[in-house]
Amino acid sequence: MKPAINDASACQHAGKPSPVHHRNGHRHNRPRRPDISEVERQIAGLAERSTPDLRVAWRQLHRTGPPPGLSRDLLIRALANQLQEQRYGGVSRALRRRLQNLAEVSDKAMMAVDPGLVLKAGTTLVRQWRGHTHMVLVHNDGFEHAGQRYRSLTAIAERITEAHWSGPRFFGLTKRTRAVAGAKTSR
């Protein structure tokens, strides 16, 4: 007669339930995931609804009409996102606070929204452009170029080049530029 198999992996290979118990008891007693088919069905149904019906759903959800230029596609995506948030929960309070702080800081133009771009006050940026050297002094609340204050590096880059430029890219502050510069120096 064979001894009883108590090895969890052997039981699984034999098609039997695992004898391994989890924190809340047996593994089959764990809470199940919510039924995602219901949310998926509701989201799929959004595409079949008329645009005026989607606008009514927006008004019911937000107690105001959708933004004037919002396309049907974005309306469907926003409503689908709301359905998912209602079912699975939205962003945490901490993340919501962080996003709000970033939006407020961006409105005040006190710092770049890109967390990878942090310039300390007093830093001087130097750029050669068409035979002229341009120097920019970083302040806590903006930048100074040729004795004039600016809220962004992009405004300075546009003034220098008379064309639309990304300020960080113009002054060599992007990751792509740094990677290329690092590759050239390592040769």
Which of the residues in the chain have pLDDT under 70? 1-36, 105-117, 174-187
* CA geometry: angle 34, 37, 40, nearest 5 deg: 110
- What pLDDT digit, counting tens, does each position of 13-35 carry? 455 554 444 444 444 554 555 55
> So what's the pLDDT on residue 6?
46
Contacts of 154 (CB under 8 A, 6+ apart): 165, 166, 167, 168, 170
7, 14 Cβ separation under 8 angstroms: no
> What is the C-alpha to C-alpha distance for residues 112 and 105, in angstroms, rounded to an integer?
8
Task: Compute the 3-state secondary structure of the chain and give helix, strand, coil in percent, each to the nearest 5.
Answer: 50, 15, 40
> So what's the pLDDT on residue 86?
84
- What pLDDT digit, counting tens, does each position of 162-176 carry? 998 888 888 888 654
> So what's the pLDDT on residue 12?
46
